[in-house]
Structure 1
Amino acid sequence: MFDPKPILKNLPNLPGVYRMINVTDEVIYVGKAKDLKKRVSSYFNKNLPSPRTRMMVSNIVKIETTVTHNEAEALLLENNLIKGLMPRYNVLFRDDKSYPYITLTGDQYSRLAFHRGTQRQGNKTKGCSQYFGPFPNSVAVRESIQLLQKVFKLRTCENTVFANRSRPCLQHQIERCTAPCVGLISDTDYRNDVHQAAMFLQGKTNEVIDALGEQMNAAAANQEYELAVVFRNRMQALRQVQAKQFVSDFNVSDADVIACA
């Protein structure tokens, strides 16, 4: 019989993710917790209400845990582990409907959009959409979309609206869209903006800034100074985002330690 007491005794009162493992070393359940000690201990109460939970607990021979900085990190880690491991006792999150994503659609002029649900595949008339995430909540997605609009100026309108525009909309007037609906940007330039937005969402911010720097210098060399200013402003906006992602005072809690034996 599995004795959980030694494990429960050493669990911290911190947020994180726990994995229940059976005798064949298969992960049968993944869960998150605001307090690992309290949450994991609750599985070993005498009166568990759910037959499914009792069955799952009867198969446990090992428990592994990962401590995270906060509950939001635990949510995302749980989501990724469930998608990767597909534990038999996890019902939720198997169909990508739990957390929101940002998508760049496979249209000729890709649309930047909020997505929650099954990730759709492309077809003969429409390319594959790209999905980025998951994000901890819808607010984080909408804030990211606003940032991408300011920097890369991609369209966010529905296809029915896009197809029937005869003049630029308000998003173009406030400089959050380059108005591909009425041909104010070439196909090549718009695809390049989409590519850079995708690279940024993949975490390749430095590569995007370097590419923008080359475009700025080329525009300046051709005496296209207004265009050069556009690229300069994009670089400045991305550098501000980068600055927010790092703390000023380094300490040991910010270090990633990798050991190889």
Structure 2
Amino acid sequence: MAHSNKGISICQHKYCLDLIKEFGLMGCKPSSTPMDDSMHLHQDSSEPLNDPLSYRRLVGRLIYLTSTRPDIVFATQQLSQFMLAPTQTHLQSALRVIHYLKGYPGKAKKQSTISRSSTEAEYRALAFATCEFQWLSFLLADLRIPFTKCPVLYCDSQSALYIVANPVFHERTKLLEIDCHVVREKLLTGLMHLLPVSSSHQLADIFTKALSPRLFHLNLSKLELLDIFKPPTCEGLNEEEPKASRIVKTTTSAQFYNNT
């Protein structure tokens, strides 16, 4: 815990370092992401672990660490599904999380984050937005304001988009039948356009899937995590800036003082 004029920051920096040290990875090469986006964990046929307790202990400690590290929530959730009979593949994936923590041991949680994503929740939100579109269209018609463009409704769930496009209902969506009729009917009448959201704008994906390094760090930057152990830099001086731009700034400042 660290106190400052801006408030209190809570982190598990020492706990994270102890975890890395316990598994002998203090000198390991850091990983840019906690999970490989090309790997889908499942109950494979690789060699089972001789000591599954070590895997369970590691995952248990990672679960405790997620209270201040939302960036490892998805990877930890995936690993916790194989506590009964972990294999070497699962262990290597768990150790990758440690490699990631080695590069980022001091992030702190600035605000609470809740992740909720399901086909039903996404589709009901889509149906609600459709009804709002319909109400707005009636209101504008009463005010004699014509539509110039068809409104666009974005949906961040591929499953929900599939339900709209497919009129065949199945067991998982039987309770959504009324909402399905509403959204599909309004879409066919041209009330709106329904488009997917690009992966680069899916900020909640960091909690629901393994991402490539570029998308992972893009989403991570939106969580407003603060590394209170990162050494401060000189104000106004960016280490990644080209030297030429630094010279321009220095010259500009000198000219300003000379002019004044």
TM-score, with length taken from structure 2: 0.25
Greater strand content: 1
Provide TM-score, normalisation by structure 1: 0.25
Higher helix share: 2
